[in-house]
C-alpha cells in the first residue's frame, strides 16, 4: 500500500516536472519565432517602402517579386491607408500583379462574415474601378454589417456610377442599410453623382427621395430649388416633405418662401411646421416674421418655441416683433421672452439704445 503511494507521488512529480520543462521550451521557441517574425516583418516593410520610393535595386526588386507570404500581403494592405499619389499607384499596380486584389474580390463571395468585411475594406482602400461591382454586389449580402461596410467603401471609392446601387439599397427592405451611412457615402461622391441622384426622384420609394432631398440641401445649389419645392408640395411621404423643407432652408432661395409659408398652416403636421419655421429663418425674408410669430398663438409649446427662435435669427425686424410679442397676450409670449433673453446673453449690444 505504502509502495503504491510512493510510486504515485513519484509519477506525479515527474509529470509536473515534464510539464514545466515543456512549458519553458515552448515559451523559448515561441519567443524565438516571434523575434524572427518581427525582424522579417521589419525587413519586408523596409523593402516595400524602398520599392514605393523607387529606391529598390534590380536585384532587390527580383527578390521582392518572388516573396509569397500572408505576412507580406498584410503589410502591403496596411500600407494602402498610409500612401497617396504616385506611391499609392505603384502599390496598387504591385498588388494587381501579385493577384492580391483578385483574391480579395473572390473573398467577397465566400463564407465568413469577418473575411467579407475585411475584403470590402481592402477594396475600398485600393480605390480602383474594378472594386465597384464587387462592392455593389455586397449591398445584398445576408449580413447587415457587411452591407454597411460595403456602403462606406463605395463612398470611399467616390464613383458616380455607384449612385443607382446606393439609392436602391436604401429602399431595399429585404436587405436594409443605415440611412445615415448611405447619406455619407452619397455626400462623398458629391456633385459628380448629382444627375443620377436627381433621376432617382421619379422612381423608388420614399427613403430614396428622402436621402436625395437631404443631399440636394447639403450640396446647396439654387438650381435644385424647383425639384425640392415639388417634393415639398406633392410628395406623399412625410419624411420627404420634412427633409425637403430643411434642404430649401439650406439653399436659401426666395422662390421657396410661398411653399414654406403654406407649410405653416394649421392643417400641416407639427414637425413640418417647425422645420419650415427654421427654413424661413435661414432664407431670411423679413416679411415672413409676423406670420412666423403668429404661431405663438397655436398652443403647441414646441411650435411656439421654434417660431420664437426663428424670429430671433431674423435680424432687427425679428427682434422688434419679438419684443411686441413678449408684451402681448399671446399664449406663447413666454417663449418670445425666452428667445429675447437668449439673444441678450449671446450679444448684449443688440439691445443697447
pLDDT digits (tens, 9 = 90+) for 241-290: 999 999 999 999 999 999 999 999 999 999 999 999 999 999 998 999 99
Return the minimum-mean-pLDDT range out of 17-26, 136-145, 286-295.
Answer: 17-26
- Which residue, chain included where needed, has cell 421672452? 337
- Decide which of 150 and 205 is more confident: 150
Cβ atoms within 10 Å, residue 225? 19
With bands split at pLDDT 50, 70 and 90, how would you rate the model's confidence at 37?
Answer: low
- Report the pLDDT value the prediction gives residue 350, as an integer from 0 to 100: 45
- Is the pLDDT assigned to residue 153 strictly greater than 60? yes
The CA distances from residue 190 to 157, 161, 185, in Å, are 12, 12, 9
Integer Cα distance of 281 and 295 in angstroms = 14
Per-residue buried b or exposed e for 317-331, using 16+ beta carbons within 10 Å of the residue's own CB: bbbebbeebbeeebe
pTM of this structure? 0.79
Q: How far apart are the first and last CA of the chain?
A: 110
What secondary structure letter does DSSP report for 220? T
**Could you tell me if 187 and 171 are in contact, meaning their C-beta atoms sit under 8 angstroms apart?**
no
Catalogue all structural domains in the chain, each as residue range(s) with its CATH number.
Answer: 46-53+83-203 (1.25.10.10), 284-353 (no CATH)
What secondary structure letter does DSSP report for 158? T
Burial class (CB in 10 A: 0-12, 13-18, 19+), 99: exposed
- Report the pLDDT value the prediction gives residue 305, as an integer from 0 to 100: 92
- Report the pLDDT value the prediction gives residue 353, as an integer from 0 to 100: 42
Amino acid at each position: 500500500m505504502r509502495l503504491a503511494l510512493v510510486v504515485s507521488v513519484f509519477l506525479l512529480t515527474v509529470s509536473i516536472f515534464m510539464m514545466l520543462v515543456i512549458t519553458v521550451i515552448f515559451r523559448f521557441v515561441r519567443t524565438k519565432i516571434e523575434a524572427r517574425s518581427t525582424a522579417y516583418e521589419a525587413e519586408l516593410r523596409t523593402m516595400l517602402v524602398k520599392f514605393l520610393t523607387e529606391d529598390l535595386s534590380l536585384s532587390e526588386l527580383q527578390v521582392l517579386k518572388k516573396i509569397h507570404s500572408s505576412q507580406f500581403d498584410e503589410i502591403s494592405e496596411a500600407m494602402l491607408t498610409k500612401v497617396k499619389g504616385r506611391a499609392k499607384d505603384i502599390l496598387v499596380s504591385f498588388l494587381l500583379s501579385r493577384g492580391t486584389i483578385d483574391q480579395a474580390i473572390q473573398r467577397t463571395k465566400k463564407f465568413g462574415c469577418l473575411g467579407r468585411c475585411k475584403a470590402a475594406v481592402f477594396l475600398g482602400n485600393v480605390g480602383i474601378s474594378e472594386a465597384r461591382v464587387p462592392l455593389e454586389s455586397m449591398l445584398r449580402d445576408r449580413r447587415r454589417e457587411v452591407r454597411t461596410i460595403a456602403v462606406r467603401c463605395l463612398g470611399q471609392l467616390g464613383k458616380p456610377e455607384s449612385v443607382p446601387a446606393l439609392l436602391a439599397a436604401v429602399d431595399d427592405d429585404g436587405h436594409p442599410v443605415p440611412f445615415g451611412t448611405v447619406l455619407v457615402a452619397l455626400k462623398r461622391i458629391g456633385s459628380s453623382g448629382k444627375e443620377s441622384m436627381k433621376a432617382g426622384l421619379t422612381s423608388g420609394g420614399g427613403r430614396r427621395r428622402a436621402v436625395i432631398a437631404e443631399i440636394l440641401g447639403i450640396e446647396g445649389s439654387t438650381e435644385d430649388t424647383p425639384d425640392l419645392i415639388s417634393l415639398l408640395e406633392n410628395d406623399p411621404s412625410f419624411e420627404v416633405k420634412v427633409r425637403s423643407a430643411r434642404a430649401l432652408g439650406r439653399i436659401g432661395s426666395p422662390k421657396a418662401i410661398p411653399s414654406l409659408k403654406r407649410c405653416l398652416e394649421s392643417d400641416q403636421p407639427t414637425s413640418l411646421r417647425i422645420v419650415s419655421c427654421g427654413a424661413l429663418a435661414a432664407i431670411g425674408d423679413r416679411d415672413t416674421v409676423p406670420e412666423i410669430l403668429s404661431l405663438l398663438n397655436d398652443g403647441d409649446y414646441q411650435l411656439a418655441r421654434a417660431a420664437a427662435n426663428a424670429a430671433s435669427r431674423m435680424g432687427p425686424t425679428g427682434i422688434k416683433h419679438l419684443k411686441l410679442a413678449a408684451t402681448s397676450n399671446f399664449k406663447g409670449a413666454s417663449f418670445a421672452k425666452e428667445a429675447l433673453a437668449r439673444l441678450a446673453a449671446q450679444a448684449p449690444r443688440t439691445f443697447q439704445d
